Amino acid sequence: MKLKSTLWALAFACAAVSCSDDLESGPNGNNGNGEALGESALVAVQINAGITTKAGNGEDGDGFEKGDIDESDIKDLTIYLFENSGSTTDFDFKSTSTLVAKGYTAATGSEENPDATHPTTGGTDLTETNHGWQATIEVTMSDKAASFAGKKYGVIAITNMGGSDKLPAIGTGTNQISTGNQLANYLINDLQTESGFIMSSHTLEDNQNHESTVTFPDRSSDNVPEVEVFVERLAAKVRVNEYNNNSTFVYNPTGATTDRVVLNNVAIFNQLSSGSYLLKRVTEENNQFDPTTGDLSDFSDATKDEYLGDEEVNANKLLPVRFVIDPWTRAKTAENVTNLAAINSATETGFTPKALSYDYAYCVASGQTYQTIGAIWSGWQNEQTKNIIPLSGREADDLTYLYTRENTTSKAASLNGYSTGALFQATYYPKQWMVVDETDGSVEATNVSKETDIAKQTAQTFYTYNDDIFKDYKSVFAYTLARIYAEEIGDGKQHPGYIFFDGFTTAGLGNMTVSDFKNSKTLASAADPFGYLKALKTAVEAETDGDKKMNTVTGVKSFEDFMDENGGNDMVEINKLVKVYTNGVCYYPYWIRHENNDDQHVMGVMEFDIVRNNIYDISVSEIKGLGLSEVDVPDPTDPDESGDAQLTVILNVKDWVVRSNSGVSL
């Protein structure tokens, strides 16, 4: 799925023709990391910023993108040499591989070489397969009795860690590592440092027979052995674009073409924040796996995961048959989604378990309940971070993207509480709404504004009930009363025994007796969404004087008084049925797709995932209707694939594999 914008062999901006601007090289450039007492040797590491792909797998997404210079720049390099016990020909990186040597070098102009000047030429044309970054790095044996002479080793590379001590030394002591699984499972908290984006080896071989192995000469020689390495960023990039040059982000909903919607901002939610594996891994290959019925449970044995592996696709269904695994993937179950703090990463050798956490969570617990979307959005705004991306009214220097971490789940756990998504904040301008005539209690559709051009209409607060838009609460209540009559009697004149909105005003209650209310067909039939009629019934239940006026009975209030802040209403329950849209603001959630199965009713394998080194390009092609209200409460147990999305999104995924999420329908 990923175009591997792969920086290949490690090092620094190569100058245009054949000379190179190097990382600080050789023994003096190794910054004396002093992690071992064994023999040292030099290795020439070369990174070609070419694209490394493998035919027939799911890594290539929707195309490739080289990325910005600062996304590809390399200012320091760490390499580990490894071998597999008992073999001189097996250089696959495994959990049992033995780490034998480590080396580090910093870039010119880095903190560890402050007097040097960072090169400003070379390394910028990422389409040139013969030019890239290069460096000579000193590696030191962990065993002082061991020798490099005549030996061949595999090489794992990591860039931009920001210092020689940022990755563990080789050994068996505290905070040291010695095996492949300890290195692969090392948890990285940052996506980038002051040096740049952290990158690590994603493969040890490309399709042109270049290998990440190094062979040392049998005896002392002036020749420095060379190795090519292939690295990718730990970060993923989410970018929101215009669709068909719609720079205003204004839409006419397909379900209400006279209405108007403006997308104001978008925030990326459920950004996994607890860390990433240093090295990517996938589940073992399973040729019996059926993408339509199978799930991650078919790959339950974590010890069989493959480091540096690629997603693969089923040749017939074009769906992956390998899952990409993050440190918490297998612990993200449907049962655990309401208690993220209890989800720890797998306890693997050399790896301390850590609780799963998200930045900008879409489902935020508040006591025994969850916060509303409006409260969640306000919290994000108060943090004043770059998580909120402007859309309508976007300035030229506004960022259109952000970076996030790998976040993968099984099909069964593709739930709102886990999956990374985009929440669009919009303003909705309805052409018409339902309004009560207080003189007779009737409700009719009228234009929201006298302005004939809806583009010039100002935003208004409105309410929804049963998919209809109303001007205010009293119009909703009047509608429910009129509907009771219409359902029982049908169209025609008002019928004795039915009470309409005008009867529940202050004046109306002054004219109504207790007997009128108790014997009304409205009370006998009503179940209004506000609980108002129920409250009146409770207030008059013990009243025996049927001639008494309703406004004189203790606890009886007009509808409008009841709906005041201290009117006795239950707004939590009311908000479940009657939604408020303050100043027309609404929200459209969209869960980012990694592998779209093009079926809105069936969850696909790795459909709602984020994978490192991918660009998720999102653009909205269509808005179907009104979005969520500020009072709606996200439920972490809701599935990502619900079939009722109100926007259509076209998503492209690039490696800096691009994954298209364009043409999103909201």
Q: What is the pTM of this model?
A: 0.88
User: Cα–Cα distances in Å, from 631 out to 257, 523, 575, 591?
Assistant: 25, 28, 6, 20
* pLDDT score recorded for residue 205: 87
Does 131 have pLDDT greater than 70? no
Among the residue ranges 75-89, 108-122, 282-296, 513-527, the one predicted with the least confidence is 108-122
Does 658 have pLDDT greater than 70? no
* pLDDT score recorded for residue 19: 29
Please name the residues in contact with 541: beta carbons below 8 A apart, sequence gap of 6 or more. Answer: none
User: Cα–Cα distances in Å, from 307 out to 91, 93, 194, 443?
Assistant: 12, 7, 27, 65
CA-atom Rg of the chain in angstroms? 32
User: Cα–Cα distances in Å, from 200 out to 444, 551, 613?
Assistant: 64, 75, 10
> Where does 49-170 show beta strands of DSSP type E?
51-52, 76-83, 98-106, 132-141, 152-159
Backbone angles phi, psi at 213, to 5 degrees: -130, 155
Give the mean pLDDT of 136-164.
89
> Mind giving me the DSSP string for 366-392?
ETTEE--HHHHHHHHHHHT-TTEEE-T
Q: Identify residue 326 by its one-letter amino acid code.
A: D
Find where tokens 């009104």 sit: 626
Digit-coded pLDDT (tens) for 239-276: 999 999 999 999 999 989 999 999 999 999 999 999 99
> How many residues does this entry show for the chain?
666
Digit-coded pLDDT (tens) for 549-566: 999 999 999 999 999 876
Find where tokens 């109306």 sit: 508
CA–CA gap between residue 613 and residue 7 (Å, rounded): 11
CA–CA gap between residue 419 and residue 331 (Å, rounded): 14
**329 exposure class (CB count in 10 Å sphere: 0-12, 13-18, 19+):** buried
* pLDDT score recorded for residue 220: 64
Whether the CB-CB separation of 466 and 578 falls below 8 Å is answered with no
Does 607 have pLDDT greater than 80? yes
All structural domains of the chain with their residue ranges = 4-233, 437-580
Q: What mean pLDDT, rounded, does the chain reach? A: 83
* pLDDT score recorded for residue 521: 85
* pLDDT score recorded for residue 14: 30
Give the mean pLDDT of 204-222.
83
**Where on the phi/psi map is residue 277: left (φ > 0), alpha (ψ -120 to 50), or beta?**
beta
* pLDDT score recorded for residue 23: 47
Backbone angles phi, psi at 52, to 5 degrees: -115, 115
Tell me which DSSP letter residue 21 carries: P
Alpha-carbon torsion (635, 640, 645, 651), positive or negative:
positive
* pLDDT score recorded for residue 116: 39
Digit-coded pLDDT (tens) for 439-462: 888 899 999 998 878 788 899 999
Write out the two tokens for 362.
Answer: 């879409």
Give the mean pLDDT of 544-548.
96
Give the mean pLDDT of 94-98.
95
* pLDDT score recorded for residue 490: 53
Alpha-carbon torsion (454, 459, 461, 463), positive or negative:
positive
CA–CA gap between residue 536 and residue 518 (Å, rounded): 10
User: Cα–Cα distances in Å, from 402 out to 59, 125, 161, 194?
Assistant: 21, 23, 20, 17
